[in-house]
Amino acid sequence: MSRVDYQFQTVTRIYTINLTTGVGVNVLKRLHLLFILLIAIVVLSACGDSNEEDADSDETDDEKWEEIQNEGELVVGTSGTLIGGSYYDGEEESEDQLTGYEVETMREIAERLDLDISFEIIGVDNVMAAIDSGRIDISAATITDKREEDFNFSDPHKYSYVTMAVREDDNSGIDSLEDLEGKAAGGGATTIYSQIAEQYGAEVVTYGNAPNEAYLRDVHNGRTDVVINDYFLTKFGVAGFPDFDIHLHPDLKFHPTETGVIMPKDADVLKEEINSVLDEMREDGTLSELAIQFYEEDASQVPEGEIEEVEGLEL
Protein backbone atom coordinates (compact mmCIF):
# COMPACT_ATOMS: atom_id res chain seq x y z
CA MET A 1 0.00 0.00 0.00
CA SER A 2 1.34 3.44 -0.93
CA ARG A 3 1.81 6.26 1.55
CA VAL A 4 -1.06 8.23 -0.03
CA ASP A 5 -3.46 5.25 0.12
CA TYR A 6 -2.61 4.61 3.77
CA GLN A 7 -3.13 8.21 4.83
CA PHE A 8 -6.33 8.46 2.77
CA GLN A 9 -7.73 5.36 4.49
CA THR A 10 -6.73 6.63 7.93
CA VAL A 11 -8.41 9.99 7.51
CA THR A 12 -11.48 8.39 5.91
CA ARG A 13 -11.74 6.02 8.85
CA ILE A 14 -11.68 8.92 11.31
CA TYR A 15 -14.24 10.80 9.23
CA THR A 16 -16.56 7.77 9.20
CA ILE A 17 -16.23 7.17 12.95
CA ASN A 18 -17.20 10.74 13.70
CA LEU A 19 -20.26 10.53 11.45
CA THR A 20 -21.52 7.45 13.33
CA THR A 21 -20.84 8.92 16.79
CA GLY A 22 -22.57 12.22 16.15
CA VAL A 23 -19.62 14.60 16.28
CA GLY A 24 -20.66 18.17 15.43
CA VAL A 25 -20.60 19.56 11.92
CA ASN A 26 -17.80 22.02 12.71
CA VAL A 27 -15.54 19.19 13.81
CA LEU A 28 -16.32 17.29 10.63
CA LYS A 29 -15.55 20.36 8.55
CA ARG A 30 -12.18 20.67 10.30
CA LEU A 31 -11.44 17.01 9.62
CA HIS A 32 -12.49 17.45 6.01
CA LEU A 33 -10.13 20.42 5.68
CA LEU A 34 -7.35 18.44 7.36
CA PHE A 35 -7.92 15.61 4.90
CA ILE A 36 -7.61 17.96 1.90
CA LEU A 37 -4.44 19.58 3.31
CA LEU A 38 -2.89 16.18 3.99
CA ILE A 39 -3.54 14.97 0.46
CA ALA A 40 -2.10 18.20 -0.98
CA ILE A 41 1.09 17.83 1.10
CA VAL A 42 1.56 14.21 0.01
CA VAL A 43 0.98 15.03 -3.67
CA LEU A 44 3.41 17.96 -3.56
CA SER A 45 5.99 15.75 -1.85
CA ALA A 46 5.57 13.07 -4.52
CA CYS A 47 5.96 15.70 -7.26
CA GLY A 48 9.11 16.93 -5.60
CA ASP A 49 10.56 13.42 -5.53
CA SER A 50 9.61 12.97 -9.18
CA ASN A 51 11.22 16.26 -10.17
CA GLU A 52 14.41 15.29 -8.34
CA GLU A 53 14.45 11.96 -10.18
CA ASP A 54 13.88 13.75 -13.50
CA ALA A 55 16.70 16.16 -12.69
CA ASP A 56 19.02 13.25 -11.87
CA SER A 57 18.02 11.55 -15.12
CA ASP A 58 18.63 14.72 -17.14
CA GLU A 59 22.02 15.12 -15.50
CA THR A 60 22.97 11.58 -16.51
CA ASP A 61 21.70 12.07 -20.06
CA ASP A 62 23.53 15.39 -20.41
CA GLU A 63 26.83 14.25 -18.93
CA LYS A 64 28.56 13.09 -22.14
CA TRP A 65 27.28 15.98 -24.23
CA GLU A 66 28.29 18.52 -21.55
CA GLU A 67 31.73 16.92 -21.34
CA ILE A 68 32.19 17.21 -25.11
CA GLN A 69 30.96 20.81 -25.11
CA ASN A 70 33.34 21.72 -22.29
CA GLU A 71 36.25 20.17 -24.18
CA GLY A 72 35.07 21.68 -27.46
CA GLU A 73 36.12 18.51 -29.26
CA LEU A 74 34.81 15.18 -30.53
CA VAL A 75 37.25 12.28 -30.17
CA VAL A 76 36.46 9.70 -32.84
CA GLY A 77 37.72 6.15 -33.14
CA THR A 78 38.50 4.93 -36.65
CA SER A 79 40.60 2.19 -38.26
CA GLY A 80 42.54 4.12 -40.90
CA THR A 81 42.92 0.85 -42.83
CA LEU A 82 39.73 0.52 -44.88
CA ILE A 83 39.83 1.90 -48.41
CA GLY A 84 36.72 3.94 -49.11
CA GLY A 85 35.69 4.15 -45.47
CA SER A 86 38.71 5.18 -43.37
CA TYR A 87 42.20 5.31 -44.88
CA TYR A 88 45.26 7.50 -45.49
CA ASP A 89 45.33 9.24 -48.85
CA GLY A 90 49.11 9.24 -49.15
CA GLU A 91 52.16 7.53 -47.74
CA GLU A 92 52.32 9.64 -44.59
CA GLU A 93 49.93 8.48 -41.86
CA SER A 94 49.06 11.95 -40.59
CA GLU A 95 45.61 13.07 -39.51
CA ASP A 96 45.29 15.58 -42.32
CA GLN A 97 45.70 12.72 -44.83
CA LEU A 98 43.11 10.55 -43.09
CA THR A 99 39.96 10.43 -45.20
CA GLY A 100 37.10 8.24 -46.40
CA TYR A 101 33.32 8.24 -46.08
CA GLU A 102 33.28 7.51 -42.35
CA VAL A 103 36.03 10.04 -41.63
CA GLU A 104 34.51 12.88 -43.67
CA THR A 105 31.03 12.19 -42.29
CA MET A 106 32.43 12.55 -38.77
CA ARG A 107 34.24 15.77 -39.73
CA GLU A 108 30.99 17.20 -41.09
CA ILE A 109 29.10 16.22 -37.94
CA ALA A 110 31.70 17.94 -35.75
CA GLU A 111 31.70 21.08 -37.88
CA ARG A 112 27.91 21.40 -37.74
CA LEU A 113 28.01 20.91 -33.98
CA ASP A 114 30.64 23.68 -33.78
CA LEU A 115 33.24 21.29 -32.37
CA ASP A 116 36.84 20.44 -33.16
CA ILE A 117 37.59 16.83 -34.01
CA SER A 118 40.46 14.43 -33.41
CA PHE A 119 40.84 10.80 -34.46
CA GLU A 120 42.16 7.82 -32.53
CA ILE A 121 43.34 4.98 -34.75
CA ILE A 122 41.77 1.89 -33.28
CA GLY A 123 40.86 -1.62 -34.45
CA VAL A 124 37.22 -2.58 -34.85
CA ASP A 125 37.56 -5.16 -32.07
CA ASN A 126 38.52 -2.44 -29.58
CA VAL A 127 35.95 0.26 -30.40
CA MET A 128 33.39 -0.64 -27.75
CA ALA A 129 35.99 -1.01 -25.00
CA ALA A 130 37.41 2.39 -25.98
CA ILE A 131 33.96 3.99 -25.66
CA ASP A 132 33.41 2.32 -22.27
CA SER A 133 36.77 3.58 -21.00
CA GLY A 134 36.24 7.12 -22.32
CA ARG A 135 39.23 6.93 -24.65
CA ILE A 136 36.95 7.94 -27.53
CA ASP A 137 33.55 9.61 -27.64
CA ILE A 138 32.09 8.02 -30.77
CA SER A 139 32.85 5.81 -33.74
CA ALA A 140 31.06 4.23 -36.69
CA ALA A 141 29.76 0.70 -36.16
CA THR A 142 27.28 -1.79 -37.54
CA ILE A 143 23.99 -1.52 -35.64
CA THR A 144 22.85 -4.79 -34.06
CA ASP A 145 20.28 -5.71 -31.42
CA LYS A 146 22.99 -7.02 -29.11
CA ARG A 147 25.07 -3.85 -29.32
CA GLU A 148 22.01 -1.68 -28.72
CA GLU A 149 21.63 -3.33 -25.31
CA ASP A 150 24.89 -1.73 -24.18
CA PHE A 151 25.36 1.34 -26.40
CA ASN A 152 23.45 4.18 -28.03
CA PHE A 153 23.39 4.47 -31.82
CA SER A 154 22.47 7.32 -34.10
CA ASP A 155 20.17 6.79 -37.05
CA PRO A 156 21.98 4.95 -39.88
CA HIS A 157 24.19 6.98 -42.19
CA LYS A 158 25.24 3.99 -44.29
CA TYR A 159 23.31 1.03 -45.68
CA SER A 160 25.00 -2.01 -47.15
CA TYR A 161 25.11 -5.78 -47.14
CA VAL A 162 27.70 -8.52 -46.76
CA THR A 163 29.69 -10.18 -49.52
CA MET A 164 32.99 -12.03 -50.01
CA ALA A 165 36.42 -11.62 -51.51
CA VAL A 166 37.45 -14.99 -52.98
CA ARG A 167 40.04 -16.35 -55.42
CA GLU A 168 39.05 -15.45 -58.95
CA ASP A 169 39.96 -18.72 -60.62
CA ASP A 170 37.48 -20.88 -58.64
CA ASN A 171 35.66 -18.60 -56.17
CA SER A 172 37.69 -20.44 -53.50
CA GLY A 173 35.30 -23.37 -53.93
CA ILE A 174 32.43 -21.31 -52.46
CA ASP A 175 29.13 -21.23 -54.35
CA SER A 176 26.84 -20.78 -51.33
CA LEU A 177 27.08 -19.89 -47.63
CA GLU A 178 26.98 -23.60 -46.82
CA ASP A 179 30.27 -24.02 -48.73
CA LEU A 180 32.04 -22.02 -45.99
CA GLU A 181 32.21 -25.29 -44.02
CA GLY A 182 35.89 -26.06 -43.40
CA LYS A 183 37.18 -22.88 -45.11
CA ALA A 184 39.60 -20.38 -43.54
CA ALA A 185 38.11 -16.87 -43.30
CA GLY A 186 40.18 -13.79 -42.49
CA GLY A 187 38.49 -11.30 -40.18
CA GLY A 188 38.26 -9.44 -36.88
CA ALA A 189 37.44 -11.44 -33.78
CA THR A 190 34.24 -9.60 -32.78
CA THR A 191 32.72 -8.62 -36.12
CA ILE A 192 29.41 -9.71 -37.54
CA TYR A 193 31.33 -10.96 -40.58
CA SER A 194 33.36 -13.42 -38.54
CA GLN A 195 30.23 -14.59 -36.78
CA ILE A 196 28.65 -15.38 -40.15
CA ALA A 197 31.77 -17.35 -41.10
CA GLU A 198 31.69 -19.33 -37.86
CA GLN A 199 27.96 -19.96 -38.11
CA TYR A 200 28.52 -21.71 -41.44
CA GLY A 201 31.49 -23.74 -40.21
CA ALA A 202 34.51 -21.68 -41.31
CA GLU A 203 37.61 -21.20 -39.19
CA VAL A 204 38.26 -17.51 -38.53
CA VAL A 205 41.84 -16.27 -38.84
CA THR A 206 42.13 -12.96 -36.95
CA TYR A 207 44.50 -10.09 -37.70
CA GLY A 208 43.83 -7.14 -35.39
CA ASN A 209 43.87 -3.70 -37.01
CA ALA A 210 45.62 -4.90 -40.19
CA PRO A 211 45.29 -3.17 -43.58
CA ASN A 212 43.22 -4.59 -46.42
CA GLU A 213 46.38 -5.82 -48.10
CA ALA A 214 47.14 -8.33 -45.33
CA TYR A 215 43.66 -9.89 -45.47
CA LEU A 216 43.45 -10.01 -49.24
CA ARG A 217 47.01 -11.18 -49.87
CA ASP A 218 46.31 -14.24 -47.73
CA VAL A 219 43.31 -15.15 -49.89
CA HIS A 220 45.51 -14.71 -52.96
CA ASN A 221 48.32 -16.93 -51.62
CA GLY A 222 45.98 -19.58 -50.15
CA ARG A 223 46.67 -18.98 -46.45
CA THR A 224 42.95 -18.22 -46.18
CA ASP A 225 40.06 -18.84 -48.57
CA VAL A 226 37.77 -15.89 -48.09
CA VAL A 227 37.28 -12.48 -46.52
CA ILE A 228 33.65 -11.81 -45.57
CA ASN A 229 32.99 -8.11 -45.20
CA ASP A 230 30.90 -5.09 -46.08
CA TYR A 231 30.15 -4.82 -49.80
CA PHE A 232 31.60 -1.33 -50.27
CA LEU A 233 34.78 -2.02 -48.32
CA THR A 234 35.31 -5.34 -50.11
CA LYS A 235 34.72 -3.79 -53.53
CA PHE A 236 37.36 -1.11 -53.02
CA GLY A 237 39.73 -3.45 -51.22
CA VAL A 238 39.74 -5.85 -54.16
CA ALA A 239 40.10 -3.02 -56.69
CA GLY A 240 43.12 -1.72 -54.79
CA PHE A 241 45.17 -4.86 -55.50
CA PRO A 242 44.70 -5.78 -59.17
CA ASP A 243 47.72 -8.12 -59.13
CA PHE A 244 46.08 -10.47 -56.60
CA ASP A 245 44.11 -13.47 -57.83
CA ILE A 246 40.94 -12.30 -56.07
CA HIS A 247 37.58 -10.79 -56.96
CA LEU A 248 34.22 -9.93 -55.45
CA HIS A 249 32.05 -13.04 -55.37
CA PRO A 250 29.79 -12.67 -58.43
CA ASP A 251 26.66 -14.26 -56.94
CA LEU A 252 26.56 -13.93 -53.15
CA LYS A 253 25.04 -10.90 -51.41
CA PHE A 254 23.47 -11.40 -48.01
CA HIS A 255 22.61 -9.95 -44.60
CA PRO A 256 21.62 -6.28 -45.03
CA THR A 257 23.48 -4.00 -42.63
CA GLU A 258 23.07 -0.51 -41.20
CA THR A 259 25.94 1.59 -39.86
CA GLY A 260 25.45 4.37 -37.35
CA VAL A 261 27.42 6.43 -34.86
CA ILE A 262 28.02 4.40 -31.70
CA MET A 263 28.30 6.21 -28.33
CA PRO A 264 27.82 5.53 -24.58
CA LYS A 265 24.46 4.10 -23.54
CA ASP A 266 23.35 7.14 -21.50
CA ALA A 267 24.42 9.75 -24.09
CA ASP A 268 20.86 10.58 -25.10
CA VAL A 269 21.43 14.29 -25.71
CA LEU A 270 24.53 13.57 -27.81
CA LYS A 271 22.43 11.10 -29.83
CA GLU A 272 19.75 13.75 -30.42
CA GLU A 273 22.36 16.31 -31.52
CA ILE A 274 24.01 13.89 -33.95
CA ASN A 275 20.67 12.71 -35.35
CA SER A 276 19.64 16.33 -35.94
CA VAL A 277 22.85 16.96 -37.91
CA LEU A 278 22.49 13.73 -39.90
CA ASP A 279 18.94 14.76 -40.84
CA GLU A 280 20.31 18.05 -42.17
CA MET A 281 23.02 16.21 -44.12
CA ARG A 282 20.44 13.92 -45.72
CA GLU A 283 18.14 16.78 -46.64
CA ASP A 284 20.86 18.97 -48.20
CA GLY A 285 22.48 16.04 -50.04
CA THR A 286 25.79 16.03 -48.14
CA LEU A 287 25.58 12.35 -47.14
CA SER A 288 24.84 11.28 -50.72
CA GLU A 289 27.68 13.42 -52.08
CA LEU A 290 30.20 11.97 -49.64
CA ALA A 291 29.04 8.41 -50.28
CA ILE A 292 29.31 8.77 -54.05
CA GLN A 293 32.69 10.49 -53.70
CA PHE A 294 34.23 7.62 -51.76
CA TYR A 295 32.16 4.57 -52.76
CA GLU A 296 31.01 5.58 -56.28
CA GLU A 297 27.52 4.58 -55.12
CA ASP A 298 25.09 6.21 -52.71
CA ALA A 299 25.70 4.18 -49.56
CA SER A 300 23.46 6.58 -47.62
CA GLN A 301 20.43 4.93 -49.28
CA VAL A 302 19.05 1.42 -48.76
CA PRO A 303 20.40 -0.83 -51.57
CA GLU A 304 17.98 -2.18 -54.15
CA GLY A 305 17.45 -5.82 -55.01
CA GLU A 306 16.95 -9.02 -53.06
CA ILE A 307 19.46 -9.64 -50.28
CA GLU A 308 19.45 -12.92 -48.36
CA GLU A 309 18.90 -12.63 -44.60
CA VAL A 310 21.17 -14.56 -42.22
CA GLU A 311 19.29 -15.75 -39.13
CA GLY A 312 20.61 -16.57 -35.67
CA LEU A 313 23.38 -13.98 -35.32
CA GLU A 314 24.00 -12.80 -31.76
CA LEU A 315 25.92 -9.58 -32.36
DSSP E strand stretches across 86-149: 86-88, 98-99, 116-121, 138-142
Residue type, position 295, single letter: Y
Domain boundaries, the chain: 3-67, 72-157+259-295, 160-255
Residue 91 confidence (pLDDT) = 80
Residue type, position 53, single letter: E
Is 72-157+259-295's fold the same as 160-255's?
Answer: yes
Q: Give the domain 72-157+259-295 fold.
A: D-Maltodextrin-Binding Protein; domain 2 (3.40.190)
Phi then psi for residue 200, to 5 deg, are -100, 15
Residue 39 confidence (pLDDT) = 54
CA–CA distance, 9 with 151 (Å, rounded to integer): 45
CATH architecture of 160-255: 3-Layer(aba) Sandwich (3.40)
Taking only the tens of pLDDT, the chain with its 315 residues reads: 444 444 434 434 434 434 344 444 444 445 455 555 555 554 444 445 544 444 444 444 469 999 999 999 999 999 999 999 999 998 888 888 999 999 999 999 999 999 999 999 998 889 999 999 999 999 999 999 999 999 999 999 999 999 999 999 999 999 999 999 999 999 888 888 999 999 999 999 998 778 889 999 999 999 999 999 999 999 999 999 999 999 999 999 999 999 999 999 999 999 999 999 999 999 999 999 999 999 999 999 999 888 988 887 776
Backbone dihedral region of 120: left (phi > 0), alpha (psi from -120 to 50 degrees) or beta? beta
